[in-house]
Each structure stands twice: as C-alpha cells, then as structure tokens.
Structure 1
Amino acid sequence: MYDTTSVINSLLLDDLFSGYQEVLGEDYDAYRNHCLRVFNFCCALARKREVDLDKIAVAVFFHDLGIWTEKSFDYLPASQLLARSYLEKNGKGDWQSEIEAMIGEHHKLTRYKEHPEWLVELFRKADWIDMTGGLLRFRLKDDFVTDVLEAFPNAGFHRKLVQLAVERFKSHPFSPLPMMKL
C-alpha cells in the first residue's frame, strides 16, 4: 500500500520520460512535473487498495502525451494509441482496457461508474486535483497536496494549456475543448 505521508517518484516514469525529451522540448519539465503530481495524487487516493503503481505510471505518462506527439489539443485518441503500443510491446496487453479508460475519461466532469474496480475514477480525481491547483482535494490531506505541489513545481504547464485552448478556440470555436466529457 502507498504511504500518503510522503511524496514519491517513479522509476518507470523516469524511464518513460527519458525517451521523450526531444518530443516534449521546452515543455519537458512542465509535463514531467504534472505527471508526477498526478501520479502522487492517484497513488494517495488508492491508498486503501492494493494497486500496481506501474499501471498508474503508464496511464500518467501517456494521458496527455498526444498533445506533443500529434501537436493537437484533440489528443486523447493519440494518447490512448501510444499507451496501447507501449503495453503491447511490454507484455501488458491485459492492462489495455483500463489504461485506455483512464486516459479517455480523465477530463470527465462527472463520476466514472462503469468499472468501479478500475483506477479510472481515482485517476480522474487525481488529474482534477492538479488541474485546480489543489482547490479540489477529494479528501486528501491539505499538507500532502501542498507537499506534492511544492515538490513538483508547475513550470508553466497550466500556462501552456491555456495557450493551447486559445489556439484551439480560434480554429474550432464550436469545439474548443474536445477532451472534456460529461
């Protein structure tokens, strides 16, 4: 079980990021820190369950990656495809449905109910904690959320998302946030 009293890193996340520095470019630190914050929040939310931290790490790494690989704000399908390819190459095909749901539903505004035994809802909450700068906490301790936010500074991640949203709105005014779901 995950210790919710301290912030942790993930060796698997470090390994995954090592192959994407060039793709992420100047956004490397911003995306890496976002992923580490979401990883910590998701692990903490899952504290009462035995979970595979590598499963969370894979979902976290790929969840927004399509923004950079496809240079698109309509990135969820690309992110899911990248995750699927990774899972198949690494003998984790049995994780595919859950990981794709974690990626595909992480911007859902309402609770994910289809497979309550999966990590999808916890992952969705973890991303919302980060996206709100800790305003939403889903019962995580204030000190823990603050420690995670301080350990992995924003480094311009949210500013980048605002820039992408503005650009998307200019070209697709009737679909400015294609990743959002009810």
Structure 2
Amino acid sequence: MSETYNERIDEILEDYREVIGSDFPGYRNHCIRMAEICDLLQATDEEDRHKIAIAAAFHDIGLWTANTLDYLPPSVPPAVQYLEKHGLEDWSDEVSAMILEHHKLRPVDSASSYLVELFRKADLVDFSKGLVRFGLSRAKYSRLVETYPNAGFHKMLVRMSCCWFVRHPLNPLPMMKW
C-alpha cells in the first residue's frame, strides 16, 4: 500500500473534512482504494500517481460542496483550483477528464490519456465492491478493503440516491454517462 497516496489524499481532503462531515472516513478510504486499484491494474510512474491522487481526492467532492447527486461538474473547479495553487495547471485537462469520465459506462477513448480509462476502471471496481475487477484478484481487492474499510461509503451513496430520486424521478442517476 502506498503511503504517497495516503499522504497526498489526506493533505487534500483535510480542507474538506468539515463539509464532508461524518462521511469523511468512508470517502477518504474510497479515494485511497481507488488510487491503489489504479496501481494494481496498471503500473504507473510517480507523476501519474500524483495525478491519480489529486483526481481521486476530488472526483466525488461535489456530493458535499454542491450538495447534489449531479456532482461531476461541481467536482472539477476545486480540483483545478488546487492544481493552479500548486503550479500544476498543465494537468488540469487530464485531471478534469479523469473526474468527468469516471462514471462512464463504456470504455473511454483514452488516446489523450490512459489515466482517464484507468481511473474509470478503478472507480468501477470499488463502486461494485469488487464484483467487476478487470483482472484484479479478489484477494487483492479484499486486502484493500481490510486496510481501508468501507466505513459506510456505499450506504451514504444509496441514501443520497434515494433522496435524489424522490425529487428527480426522471433523472435518477445524473452522474452516469454512456
């Protein structure tokens, strides 16, 4: 398990601890699991791991900052602001694409960046609780969940989805893309 992911994700998420509230442990662990799954699915270099950590920390942040299930677009500006603040604005397009495409149901045309598709796969592995694994062994996924427990993350998603559906029955999953 990568201390780099833990440190980077923790550093970013600390600024959002209050707004995330009681969902913080579950979201933090989901972000770290996703980042680790990226490495387990495909070898990455240090720069790519840095991009993955940033995208992971911000990929669902709009759930809380914008208080909406249609959270992909509102998750991008905080990531871009973070990149600009840290002199990494050259990564903005790639990290934004990683965030915006991570719920795409079909593979992403990754001609511009293999990380966009890798990130999508990693989120699907964790969202499905390892039912979809893209070749990742069940044992490796189980070890990740033991190390970084779910802490109610999936229950929170179900709760938020139900509340959204009551108000938006014709648009039940706005974050999903074909």
TM-score by length of 1: 0.92
CA offset at residue 114 of structure 1?
Answer: 4.3
1:16-165 to structure 2, matched below 5 A, reads: 16-47=12-43, 49-50=44-45, 52=47, 53-115=49-111, 117-165=113-161
Question: Residue type matched to 1:93 in 2?
Answer: E
How many angstroms apart in 2 are the aligned matches of 1:50 and 1:29? 27
Deviation readout 1:55-110 (Å, 9 max, x if unpaired):
10000000000101111111111101111111111111111111111000101000
Number of aligned residues: 175
How many angstroms apart in 1 are the aligned matches of 2:137 and 2:158? 28
Match of 1:20, SS state, is helix
How many angstroms apart in 2 are the aligned matches of 1:146 and 1:82? 31
Match of 1:119, SS state, is helix
CA offset at residue 118 of structure 1?
Answer: 3.1
Unaligned runs of 5+ in 2: none
CA offset at residue 150 of structure 1?
Answer: 1.1
- Paired residues of 1:43 and 1:56 also in contact (CA < 8 A): no
Structure 2 match to 1:8: 2
- Paired residues of 2:62 and 2:75 also in contact (CA < 8 A): yes
Q: CA RMSD in A?
A: 1.3
How many angstroms apart in 2 are the aligned matches of 1:117 and 1:19? 28
